[in-house]
């Protein structure tokens, strides 16, 4: 199993994120079309899609996860239940979540994964189990240039850039360290 070390924390590779495909192409979803919008709610800024579907193993673990695309950490997040966060959140966008009052983060991250997968990117999910998930998330958002993070973490952290380097002589491991200020947000 491939590991990733970030700020001296070990993140285990959970799996590659591979959205559902049809004839070799990422299957496209527009779940908002299935919502009975009786309140005439507008779509939020990330609700238009397109979206994809994917699953990860049903792991009921608490901690911090990283989404890495083509070797770069793109997103840092925390969860109480990793399997639920991905399988019922990012990996399966519910129709209601596309509208104001829904879950814009789920839509935004799913759309980023959709776009990366359409470019044949290598998308990997890593996880660090910890009860201190809010503090670890805040610290990593403060340290990393995670392009897909727009929030500053639960305690107002700031973003910085990412550089990679070797942590150990083990070939299955890599290390991510801080670098330059970030130029863009998503």
Question: What pLDDT is stored for residue 2 in this prediction?
Answer: 86
Task: Tell me if 134 sits within 8 A of 142, measured CB to CB.
Answer: no
Is pTM beyond 0.85? Reply is no
33 is a domain residue: yes
Total number of domains constituting the chain:
1
- Peptide bond preceding 50: is omega within 30 degrees of 0, i.e. cis? yes
| CA pseudo-torsion sign 93, 98, 101, 105 | positive
- Sort strands 3-6 and 21-22 into parallel, antiparallel or unpaired: unpaired
Dist. CA 60–CA 77, nearest whole Å: 15
183 is a domain residue: no
- Sort strands 25-26 and 72-79 into parallel, antiparallel or unpaired: unpaired
Question: What pLDDT is stored for residue 145 in this prediction?
Answer: 78
Q: Which residues of the chain have pLDDT under 50?
A: 155-186
69 is a domain residue: yes
Q: Give me the domain span that covers residue 89.
A: 3-178
Question: What pLDDT is stored for residue 184 in this prediction?
Answer: 32
| Per-residue buried b or exposed e for 24-40, using 16+ beta carbons within 10 Å of the residue's own CB | eebbebebbeebeeeee
Beta-sheet strands, E only, within 53-112? 63-69, 72-79
185 is a domain residue: no
What DSSP element (H or E) covers 85?
Answer: helix 82-85
184 is a domain residue: no
* HSE value, Cβ hemisphere, 13 Å, CA-based, for 69: 19
136 is a domain residue: yes
CATH number reported for the structural domain that contains residue 101 in this entry: 3.40.1440.40
186 is a domain residue: no
133 is a domain residue: yes
Neighbours of 146 (CB within 10 A): 25
């Amino acid at each position: 199993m491939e590991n990733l070390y970030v700020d001296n924390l070990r993140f285990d590779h959970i799996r590659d994120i591979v959205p559902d495909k049809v004839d070799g192409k990422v299957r496209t979803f527009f779940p908002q079309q299935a919502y009975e919008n009786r309140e005439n709610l507008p779509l939020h800024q990330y609700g238009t899609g397109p979206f994809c579907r994917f699953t990860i193993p049903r792991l009921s673990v608490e901690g911090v996860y990283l989404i890495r695309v083509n070797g770069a950490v793109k997103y840092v997040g925390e969860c109480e239940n990793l399997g639920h966060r991905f399988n019922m959140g990012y990996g399966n966008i519910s129709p209601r979540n596309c509208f104001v009052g829904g879950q814009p983060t789920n839509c935004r991250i799913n759309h980023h994964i959709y776009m990366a997968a359409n470019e044949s990117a290598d998308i990997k999910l890593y996880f660090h189990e910890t009860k201190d998930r809010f503090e670890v998330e805040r610290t990593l958002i403060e340290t990393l240039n995670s392009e897909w993070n727009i929030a500053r973490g639960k305690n107002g952290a700031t973003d910085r850039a990412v550089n990679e380097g070797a942590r150990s002589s083990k070939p299955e491991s890599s290390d991510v360290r801080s670098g330059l200020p970030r130029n863009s947000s998503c």
